[in-house]
Copies of this chain bind each other. A is one copy, B any other.
């Protein structure tokens, strides 16, 4: 591969951007902070959507669609929500343009000013709970288990493709329950669904935990999250599941008649993951040769590249290649046979290697004679010769193995980059020299967390779930701590 792109060691941030661009995943658009998701990048998102959507439906959820616009006043209903979400947002104030009386082009028609401004949804709790009020009268209407696939807008000042963009695509689940217990169980269930998806589809190990108050979703009682570790030692929040208590039910007056005939406020959850997961996928597995994709989410799992010189060779090779393609497709593998004559085999090798296609099959006239092909796996960059009639066994095996290898590699990396810090010096040393997850004691106050953040840019990624609580002393204040929490610098 021509080395006109960066390695991770040289410049991790540039390496990431180069991959996004060179692998044709996305690009910046003419609109500040908004990206264009190109076909190859969008195909990865579609695979993610399909897997998640199935998991949501298997756990009883249905999809629905709520308006893009939210009346401004809705945000003020839930006190902490307005602070968190209604500030940096896109505001629609007018609904008509007119020809510029002074010349060319169009200008805003001041006569078409909205009485109340509309906010482009940054998240949909408010409009959805305003809607749920009419859907819920009695316990028989509960639970409501709804998910929405949608675009949202948060006016971010510093954007980065996939990781942080003004407009992004996501799913947001919004459920309504009769009891606190049931809502809590839903919150945990969806956290588990996200962790399952991250580990078994994205091949990225994640920590499950609770967010500290500082990092909690604006309007939630408790925010649960999954946290992943990227190759540069920075953390990335890969999904959140919020227990909202009765906050939104109270803000939007949503009550139900219980079995006993009592009028009670409804309990709520919300949970979401976004196109930021594509960024996580890139950063978790890719190498200095480009993108590396786990087979379960790869738009193309196997590419077949024909090698030939003469027209006779072309015929023979194409015939065998098409046959292999059909065989592999029959067993459910996503195969591309790149039969273009406008590009040379060497160019194609580089192209698909850079694009992270898990398995490459090369086939030339000699191979056809011998009844073999050359297979290359993208994760380990290893080649092998396989008999053509073994491909329907070997390719699925290989794809499974790549999926597994990527997960194991990421898990080993995380284990090697998770360290305990028992005092402030250690904490600083690990953070600056090694990065990664730091398990450290914290006194439980928002104040200490804030100070640590200001001094080091490290934040509490989560308070891990689980029973192995070990008391100690806060690394920063020395005050008592109930258990270690996970610190890291984060995306």
Contact = CB atoms under 8 A, between A and B. Distances in A.
B106 A31 contact: no
B31 A46 contact: no
Contacts of A106: 72, 75-76, 82, 86-87
A412 interface: no
Given A91-B92, A92-B120, A36 B155 contact: no
Contacts of A52: none
B108 A68 contact: no
Interface in A145-189: 146, 150-151, 153, 155, 167, 169
Interface stretch (A95-103, A235-243, A262-270, A450-458): A95-103
Nearest to A83: B99
A257 interface: no
Report which residue of A30, A62, A86 has the largest number of chain B beta carbons within 10 angstroms of its beta carbon. Answer: A30
A155 B92 CA distance: 12
Contact of A108 (B38, B117, B342): B117
B42 A64 contact: yes
A17 B97 CA distance: 32
Contact of A169 (B29, B65, B89, B90): B65
A39 B146 contact: yes
A63 B91 contact: no
A325 to B, nearest CB: 16
A96 B92 contact: no
A34 interface: yes
Interface in A30-89: 30-31, 34-39, 42-43, 45-46, 62-76, 82, 86-89
A261 interface: no
Contact of A36 (B65, B91, B169): B65
Contacts of A98: 87
Interface stretch (A127-135, A351-359, A414-422): A127-135
B93 A87 contact: no
Report which residue of A43, A65, A96 has the largest number of chain B beta carbons within 10 angstroms of its beta carbon. Answer: A65
Report which residue of A31, A118, A169 has the largest number of chain B beta carbons within 10 angstroms of its beta carbon. Answer: A31
Contact of A72 (B71, B87, B88, B97): B97
Report which residue of A67, A72, A92, A94 has the largest number of chain B beta carbons within 10 angstroms of its beta carbon. Answer: A67
Contacts of A155: 95-96
A96 B105 contact: no
B64 A36 contact: yes
A95 B90 CA distance: 5
A27 interface: yes
Contact of A69 (B64, B75, B90, B118): B90
Nearest to A63: B42
Interface string A105-132: 1101000000001111000000100110
Contacts of A153: 68
A34 B64 contact: no
Given A36-B64, A153-B68, A167-B68, A97 B92 contact: no
Report which residue of A27, A36, A117, A140 has the largest number of chain B beta carbons within 10 angstroms of its beta carbon. Answer: A36
Interface of A: 27, 29-31, 34-39, 42-43, 45-46, 62-76, 82, 86-98, 104-106, 108, 117-120, 127, 130-131, 134, 140, 146, 150-151, 153, 155, 167, 169, 342
Given A30-B74, A89-B97, 15 more contacts: A30-B127, A35-B67, A43-B62, A68-B167, A75-B106, A76-B105, A86-B97, A87-B96, A87-B97, A90-B92, A90-B118, A95-B155, A97-B119, A108-B117, A120-B120
